[in-house]
Amino acid sequence: MPLIAFLLYKYFPFGGLQRDFLAIALECQRRGARIRVYTLSWQGEIPAGFEVRIAPVRAFFNHKRNEKFTAWVAADLEREPYARVVGFNKMPGLDVYYAADPCFLEKAATLRHPFYRLTGRYRHFAAYERAVFDVAANTRILMISATQQPFFIRHYATPPERFFLLPPGIAPDRRRPANAEAIRAGFRQEFNLDDDVLLLAQIGSGFKTKGLDRSLKAMAALPVELRARTCLIAIGQDEAAPFLTQARALGLAEQVQILKGRDDIPRFLLGADLLIHPAYNENTGTVLLEALVSGLPALVTDVCGYAHYISEADAGRVLASPFTQEALDVALAELLANAEQRRSFSRNALAYAESADIYALPQRAADKILASPGDVFRA
């Protein structure tokens, strides 16, 4: 039984990367692999048969902690033969890397001050990214969005044959169930939402990156009648205080709730009237597809790697770059005012979900991870 070592800095049940890791690891286990997980922290239940090793390392700075983690893992792996090392964060020593994060060098060049490149944090993350993508490395790269591949090739001259584009992996429990209307009614009763209340859902950890500030501004800019009957629920593992402060300043305190990550997201997708996701940057945006398969229309920015699925399905609005707050404000007002348009988007989304290849990520990832040892893996 081959031992597959999975490495990720942090596991908690509500992150998109973490859910993908778990689905892939379970698929590898189903195919006969032994699963060992190395991490700095684990929240939630441990699946049967998984061996989880928490690295006993501490450091004041995250990048120093990461370096201690990779050194500890490398030493531990030396004690027992293993078949593969699969990383869900960029780091040295990986046979396979699951590319959930965008290109660090590209972000540093376009979004950071030049002085940032003089910091220890920059040097660390640049080196860890190079360890995966350098032209001389052997790491196989599982891409979940085609948008970032050109950046990696530009900065590292990574051979294209080392990239493998995976389809999305939407879990079956995200698809709209037969009793969707009953679930919606129960949800809206629980949250005291009258029939005429329009509910916006914004879902995903990292509220700043996901553009929650943009959503609040757009909500505040709605025409008076629409604004009075619009509410927003945001869900994610992040600090809520700055955005609750913003909501109060905009006069939205009674209409905005911010909740911690939870495992009943499908209920929110069925109970809402629109998914709003005006992200600043987003490698994929799994929630876009979760909304699509539940029949919830979406309003998103085109920087999301999965935004093209919303366009292809005609299941909502995709805002073109460069982003302007005015464009978001106008699009939100138009969508909330047009119930028939939202119903049309919903029908289109459900039709698309019937035939689109958006479910097989764990299976295709396991294919690459468990490929024969001589198939472009470690020498």
164, two tokens? 């493998």
> Tens of pLDDT along the chain (379 residues)?
899 999 999 999 888 899 999 999 999 999 999 999 999 999 999 999 999 999 999 999 999 999 999 999 999 999 999 999 999 999 999 999 999 999 999 999 988 899 999 999 999 999 999 999 999 999 999 999 888 999 999 999 999 999 999 999 998 778 999 999 999 999 999 999 999 999 999 999 899 999 999 999 999 999 999 999 999 999 998 999 999 999 999 999 999 999 998 889 999 999 999 999 999 988 889 999 999 999 999 999 999 999 999 999 999 999 999 999 999 999 999 999 999 999 999 999 999 999 999 999 999 999 999 986 544 433 3
pTM score of the predicted model: 0.85
How far the first Cα of the chain sits from its last, in Å, is 20
Q: At what angle do helices 120-133 and 149-156 cross, to 10 degrees?
A: 100
Peptide bond into 266 cis (omega under 30): no
Q: What local confidence, expressed as pLDDT, does residue 16 receive?
A: 85
* Half-sphere exposure (Cβ direction) of 245: Cα atoms closer than 13 Å: 4
Q: Please state whether 330 falls in left (phi above 0), alpha (psi between -120 and 50) or beta.
A: alpha
Q: Got the DSSP string for 117-158?
A: GGSHHHHHHHHHHHHHH-TT---EEEES-TTSHHHHHHHH--
Specify burial of residue 294 (Cβ count, 10 A radius: 0-12, 13-18, 19+).
buried
E strand segments, the chain = 3-7, 10-11, 34-39, 41-42, 50-54, 84-87, 96-99, 140-143, 163-165, 198-203, 230-235, 256-259, 274-277, 298-301, 316-319
Report how far residue 119's alpha carbon sits from residue 190's, in angstroms, rounded to the nearest whole number: 49
Among 185, 178, 210, 365, smallest CA distance to 278 is for 210
The domains of the chain, with CATH numbers, are: 3-167+360-369 (3.40.50.2000), 172-355 (3.40.50.2000)
Q: What whole-number distance in Å separates Cα of residue 101 and Cα of residue 46?
A: 24
Cα 335 from chain centre: 25
Helix extents (H) in 211-285: 212-220, 224-228, 241-249, 265-271
Mapped onto helix, strand or coil, the DSSP state of residue 40 is coil
- Tell me how far the alpha carbon of residue 240 is from its chain's centroid: 19
Give the position of tokens 């997201």: 265
Dihedrals phi, psi of 63, to nearest 5 degrees: -70, -30
Backbone dihedral angles phi then psi of residue 264, each to the nearest 5 degrees: -115, 35
Place of tokens 């029949």: 295
